[in-house]
Chains A and B, each alone.
Chain A
């Protein structure tokens, strides 16, 4: 099966459980958004997938190959927040070595992408600013044809223009070459339009995994007088509530029921970010 599969994956750091029996399938050919608050377990999950850290329990496979095997490592490339490239290497040397390590790396394309970002390929990695280090890592990833591209906070330190360019190039590459992209980020609204499926993680557990489209379609906010809102929401999947003066706002998931003409209730679409905030808030309150 062409997919990333995690079964009951657990990872603990001392007394902290970073991943708590995570079971997840990421099918090939989609752009996933891995969303979660700070310390939710996103980086740990990606670390396990990229074989940088070891799970304490459970199993992880990439296209049926156990994570850690050379077959699995040839299928996935992970761009993380931390810089693991040799600091003394020039950017063009990093391109050269990526070409040696990966059959699917296109050095000419990398030079072209670097040009678009105005990244000087003759500079040493250690002499680059935080933003340009991120750009260098993103350039390496974008010039690579590999089944699974995994990004952990990819746009760290990037200005708005560079972020926009990255999203455009990523979408272009995805449209042209396919593959699977996993984006772990806090900038939900920025990537919302890119995502095909959303995985929400909190306290090391998967809270939700659904297609972004169905979330966008089924998530809505109903606002109005408290009693009216409560009456409407009875029996519905309410993920959160807010109060604004005398008004109550309820955030619901599911089908929207028609209301009689003249009803004081007002409806609006719920953004992915709002859904994320409400779901993680509720978990924090419960947990």
Chain B
């Protein structure tokens, strides 16, 4: 119990200052650009910022990777069992995701009302998308992003640096070359079906998607990555 509480406290005390720093920088830049655009350049129309949530996702991806590289070593040195380390990381990522989803929901919707920024959910589902659903949508998305990078970092550690670079190269080639080529080779009808599938997967109303689909998708991905991360962490050696 002592180790579990200490591990969770450690994760929070060490990592939360970075969250504050991230938002201070992000909204500092937003404010500066807004002043520049509206005050100096005299632009008065159009939204200045779209998909600021992407910055949060990048931050969470880094936090997810960092969760393994430094914290794992420190916690192992202090005799924390691997299962407890996983719990502490999970608690951190879930808390980060919840707080960031809340900030992004409140701030971006407020900025959206003033035509400064556009929340991602408005772009996808329209302005009627409820605030609570917005928070839950972002929370599950952020959880899946942080857990995916946490699991990926563990996998890289497991297979070693050389194989990680090879795997990364293959993945990049598949995404940048393989995927477009494959999609391009599909007949027009096939491409339409594929597009429809993804639109429905994200619950886009115009494509007839279920509003629950994205929640189920992100929840499923979060659980899948968590299970992968736990499986990998249980067999991860400290070298």
Q: Which residues of A come within 8 Å of B, CB atoms?
A: 47, 51-54, 68-70, 73-74, 76-78, 82, 84-87, 89, 97-98, 100-103
Contact = CB atoms under 8 A, between A and B. Distances in A.
Contact of B239 (A53, A76, A98, A100): A53
A69 B84 CA distance: 11
Interface of B: 2-3, 6-7, 9-10, 14, 70-71, 73-74, 76-82, 84, 235, 237-239
Contacts of A82: 239
Given A86-B70, A100-B9, A100-B10, A74 B3 contact: yes
Nearest to A69: B81
Contact of B78 (A51, A54, A101): A101
B14 A54 contact: no
A70 B78 CA distance: 12
A73 B81 contact: yes
B66 to A, nearest CB: 11
Contacts of A86: 14, 70-71, 73-74
A69 B83 CA distance: 10
Contacts of B81: 51, 68-70, 73
A44 to B, nearest CB: 11
A100 B78 CA distance: 10
Nearest to B81: A70
A101 B237 contact: no
Interface residues of A: mostly helix, strand, loop or mixed? Answer: loop
Most buried by A among B76, B79, B235, B237: B79
Contacts of A103: 2
18 contacts: A47-B237, A52-B238, A54-B237, A68-B81, A70-B81, A74-B3, A76-B79, A77-B79, A84-B73, A84-B74, A84-B76, A86-B70, A86-B73, A97-B74, A97-B78, A101-B79, A102-B78, A102-B79
A101 B7 CA distance: 8
Contacts of B7: 101
A102 B235 CA distance: 24
Contacts of B2: 100-101, 103
Contacts of B70: 86-87
A101 B76 contact: no
Given A51-B76, A97-B10, A101-B3, 18 more contacts: A52-B238, A53-B239, A54-B235, A54-B237, A68-B81, A69-B81, A70-B3, A70-B81, A73-B79, A73-B80, A74-B79, A76-B79, A84-B74, A84-B76, A86-B71, A101-B2, A101-B7, A102-B78
B159 to A, nearest CB: 14
